[in-house]
Amino acid sequence: MKRIELDGLVSKVIGKEIYYYDEIDSTQKEVWRRIEGHKELKNGTIILADVQTAGVGTHGRNWYTSQKGNIAFSIVIFPDCKADKLKNVTKEIAKIFVDIFHDFYKVEIEIKPPNDLIINKRKVGGILTETKLSGEDVKILVIGVGINITKKDFEEDIKYSATSIYKEYKIKVNNDLIISEFCNRFERFLNRENIL
């Protein structure tokens, strides 16, 4: 594990601290482990991994990041807001990624509500949002993002339903650019909605 910085990051909170792992079981699990172990995490901290051995998807499903070169990270936010303020956050995150891939690479991604990113009817990415509440107040928001960028070989249970940017478009994507641009745009959304 090491701390890294991304070029092009202009956000003040989101992504200002990034911890990178060559390999980890799950970025999402690592965030919760740090929280439960009372290890200090600054608002907007990202746990980023090249390979996940037990990535977490929605409804307890696996998210496979068994090959290098894909995007897998989790962000922790301490919003201290009412739960209904976050009802559109997953959809907004998906929209930000759709816009980034279109703006920089002319890649066309569709959103399958509430949290799937789709190309040609196959899943290319997903977003997992988890919260810790105190009454109606959200104290902790953990967002997990997985996007298949370079993945060519898919596990048996998803080989007909999943795809990657490379499989569909045969292009090379700068993952650091995608992540830093996401941080910049997501922070603007959070500030606009008075969440951050």
pLDDT digits (tens, 9 = 90+) for 19-57: 999 999 999 999 999 999 888 899 999 999 998 888 776
Q: What residue ranges define each of the domains in the chain, with the CATH number in brackets?
A: 2-192 (3.30.930.10)
Among candidate residues 73, 92, 169, 158, the one with its CA nearest the CA of residue 123: 158
pLDDT digits (tens, 9 = 90+) for 76-102: 999 979 999 999 999 999 999 999 999
Helical (H) or strand (E) element with 47: strand 46-56
